[in-house]
């Protein structure tokens, strides 16, 4: 452990924290009270610090980058990070909408504030504090508005649709998005760079959204036609989400 501290400039308590949180693998332990940290630990720790200090990424985001099965290579991660802030620039074009106060949005959409907070607990939306009040920024506000439309259409808790159910969509979309990013990074790394990669990503997202919508509709109709409303649980990886393969 001392050699690893010296090689990386990171203290042992931080290293142990990285291991507990899955940012680093468990070291080999050839004997009691003996742990073997090879060069891959040094490289991983340096990479984590680089993502923190140069990209300002929080640890929970870094964990998702480095800790999953079939993790991307360093070059692939850098290819993805190079797209940061470049996709869909029209969304960020000034003047940027400040969003809406949580209380105002909840009342306008016909959803109790407590229900929006439950949605935030599933990570479907994000509530931010601004000027002593809770706000929904535009991306989260769009979700709440759609959820309000679903409630008005009859998808209510009394009909068997609790707000926590949106967590299913969060988990599945996050898994799918991670797989798409992984495959995209492997495809463009060393082949497509700069604005060409940005254009390819934007165009691909639009097309894949259409494909997914049609596949989902086809699958729902098929399952309903077969009378097969049951669905076996997908293989689970860490943190209970579907395991990335390949």
Tens of pLDDT, residue by residue over 131-142, are 889 999 888 999
Is pLDDT larger for residue 197 or for residue 79? 197
Cα–Cα distances (Å) from 139 to 106, 121, 220, in that order, read: 15, 16, 27
- Same CATH fold, 98-160 and 2-67? yes
Residue 95 clears pLDDT 60, i.e. is over it: no
What's the whole-number mean pLDDT along residues 167-176? 77
| Residue 63: closest CA among 184, 239, 202 | 239
Both tokens of 205, joined, read 């997202």
Q: For residue 118, give every residue at least 6 positions away whose Cβ sits within 8 Å of its Cβ, in sequence order, or none.
A: 163, 164
Indicate the average pLDDT of the chain: 77
pTM tops 0.75, yes or no: no
Tens of pLDDT, residue by residue over 32-74, are 778 888 888 888 888 888 777 765 566 776 776 665 545 556 6
pLDDT > 90 fraction of the chain, expressed in percent and rounded: 19
Residue 146 clears pLDDT 90, i.e. is over it: yes
- What is the CATH architecture of 98-160? Orthogonal Bundle (1.10)
pLDDT the model gives residue 143: 93
Residue boundaries of the structural domains of the chain: 2-67, 74-94+168-246, 98-160
Class of domain 2-67: mainly alpha
Residue 148 clears pLDDT 80, i.e. is over it: yes
């Amino acid at each position: 452990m001392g050699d690893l501290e010296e090689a990386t400039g990171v203290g042992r308590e931080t290293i142990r924290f990285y291991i507990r949180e899955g940012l680093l693998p468990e070291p080999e332990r050839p004997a009691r009270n003996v742990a073997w940290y090879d060069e891959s630990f040094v490289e991983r720790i340096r990479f984590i610090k680089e993502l923190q200090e140069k990209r300002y990424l929080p640890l929970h985001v870094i964990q998702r980058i480095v800790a999953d099965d079939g993790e991307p290579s360093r070059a692939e991660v850098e290819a993805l990070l190079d797209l940061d802030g470049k996709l869909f620039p029209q969304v960020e074009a000034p003047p940027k909408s400040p969003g809406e106060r949580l209380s105002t949005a909840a009342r306008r959409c016909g959803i109790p504030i407590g229900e929006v907070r439950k949605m935030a607990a599933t990570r479907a939306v994000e509530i931010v504090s601004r000027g002593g009040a809770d706000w929904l920024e535009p991306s989260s506000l769009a979700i709440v508005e759609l959820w309000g439309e679903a409630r008005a259409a009859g998808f209510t808790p009394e009909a068997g649709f609790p707000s926590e159910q949106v967590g299913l969509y969060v988990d599945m979309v996050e898994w799918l998005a991670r797989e798409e990013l992984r495959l995209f990074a492997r495809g463009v790394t060393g082949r497509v760079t700069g604005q060409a990669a940005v254009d390819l990503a934007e165009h691909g997202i639009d097309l894949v959204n259409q494909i997914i919508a049609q596949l989902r509709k086809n699958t729902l109709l098929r399952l309903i036609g077969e009378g097969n409303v049951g669905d076996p649980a997908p293989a689970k990886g860490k943190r209970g989400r579907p395991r990335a393969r390949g």
